[in-house]
Amino acid sequence: MGQDRGKYDFYIGLALAISSSIFIGGSFILKKKGLLRLARKGSMRAGQGGHAYLKEWLWWAGLLSMGAGEAANFAAYAFAPATLVTPLGALSVLVSAVLSSYFLTERLNLHGKLGCLLSILGSTTMVIHAPQEEEIDSLKDMAKKLVDPGFVVFATAVIIIALIFIFVLGPRHGQTNILVYITICSVIGALSVSCVKGLGIAIKEAIAGKPVLRNPLAWLLLLSLIACVSTQINYLNKALDIFNTSLVTPIYYVFFTTSVLSCSAILFKEWEHMGVDDIIGTLSGFVTIIVGIFLLHAFKDVSISLATLAVSIRKDERNGPVSNGMAAHNHSNYELLRNEVTEDFEDREPGLPFDSVSRRNGTMTVS
């Protein structure tokens, strides 16, 4: 029964994670469309501190879509370990890229399609080799995890980094460097996932009839989650408003996933019982996803497909002999010119300094 229950939870978490990626990937497009409409109207942009997007229904549709995705993601963390749920966030990148090509006139070329394939393969590899987290069945166990010295140091470092980026680097470089706002979202996201995991345990206890509402940890986790999500939404809006969606989405995924995996490894000790093959498989899957995302967006402005690739290869084959002939011709010209220059220098007056002799338009001039 325990094994059947574990498989049942696994498939529930998997389905919720996939649906979450679809909703979140679509939310990027809706919110970007809303922000672009506001920019055309001349409203103060979110990147400049404006809040006119609160009156735009497309932005609200994107927010609701993201809310649905986050709710599904929330539930997925309650049924499955973070290292299973988080890598599937790559699917939101794929959804965003595909929808961007249709609704934001952003092309998906051959590199992009290969990147999508690699991201899916990398996600599958990480799911297969996902580590098992330590069993946490109650808020009491969660409280012990939260006061662990390793996690306390990690959480303190995250908060300090976030404050430095918000109050020091953000005002100076936020408008020009895409990593500033995304870093804020990503490091805060690591803490939000921990809060989500704890609240998922609290909901399970509440369903079992335990007095969860009397536990101060449940309220602390809820307030912390609200603060983290609010911060993420604010700075993600700024990043989307200033920079291209096809850049924001993959970079945010890589940074966010790295932060969550680090947090989960420290808080839930997921990597302690992994074999060498699972560690290599997990890291390889993650690197494969990063490569796929890089291909998906690094060459997005290059117009290339299988048809144009075949035409280019045939053109190179036809121009090959001509190119070689031109190279040989140029080499001969170089040898001829070199010989002429050598003869000119040999014929110059012995007392003339070297720098005073120059060759312009085939004639010798003395300065």
| Mean pLDDT lowest among 57-71, 74-88, 117-131, 322-336 | 322-336
Separation of alpha carbons 202 and 227, rounded Å: 18
Check whether 356 has a pLDDT greater than 70: no
Per-residue pLDDT at 365 exceeds 50 = no
Residue 92 has pLDDT above 70, yes or no: yes
CA gap 11, 15 in Å, rounded: 6
> Which class for 84: exposed (0-12), middle (13-18), buried (19 or more C-beta within 10 A)?
buried
Rounded to an integer, the average pLDDT of 8-24 is: 83
Q: What confidence score (pLDDT) does residue 48 get?
A: 58
Calpha distance 146→167 (Å, rounded)? 27
- 292-321 pLDDT, tens per residue? 877 876 676 677 666 676 666 777 666 655
- DSSP states of 43-102: PPPGGGT--GGGG-HHHHHHHHHHHHHHHHHHHHHHHS-HHHHGGGGHHHHHHHHHHHHH
What are the pLDDT digits (tens) for 160-204? 999 999 898 888 888 888 888 988 988 898 888 888 888 888 888
Residue 140's pLDDT is 81
- Of 79, 84, 86, nearest to 24 by C-alpha is 86
Please tell me what DSSP assigns to residue 367.
Answer: -
Residues 152 and 134: their CA atoms lie apart, in Å, by 18
| Predicted confidence (pLDDT) per residue in 192-231, tens digit | 888 888 888 888 888 877 888 888 888 898 898 899 888 8
Query: What pTM value is reported for the model?
Result: 0.64
Residue 10's H or E segment, with its range, is helix 2-41
Farthest CA pair distance, the chain: 106
CA geometry: angle at 255 spanning 56 and 268, to 5°?
Answer: 110
**pLDDT tens digits, one per residue of 258-286:** 888 888 878 877 677 677 888 888 888 88
The token pair that represents 178 in the structure block:
């895409």
Q: Is 210 left (phi over 0), alpha (psi -120 to 50) or beta?
A: beta
Look-up of token digits 């609290």: 202
Look up residue 357 and give its DSSP letter: E
pLDDT, position 328: 47
pLDDT at 81 over 70: yes
Q: Is 181:170 a contact under the CB 8 Å cutoff?
A: yes
Contact 193, 77 (CB under 8 A): yes
Q: CA-to-CA distance for 271 and 278, rounded, in angstroms?
A: 9
What is the reported pLDDT for 253?
77
Highest mean predicted confidence (pLDDT) among 1-10, 74-83, 181-190, 330-339: 181-190
| CA–CA separation, 154 and 183 (whole Å) | 15
User: What is the C-alpha separation between 151 and 134, in angstroms, rounded?
Assistant: 15
Contact by Cβ (8 Å): 91, 16:
no
Task: State residue 3's pLDDT score.
Answer: 52
Contact 94, 25 (CB under 8 A): yes
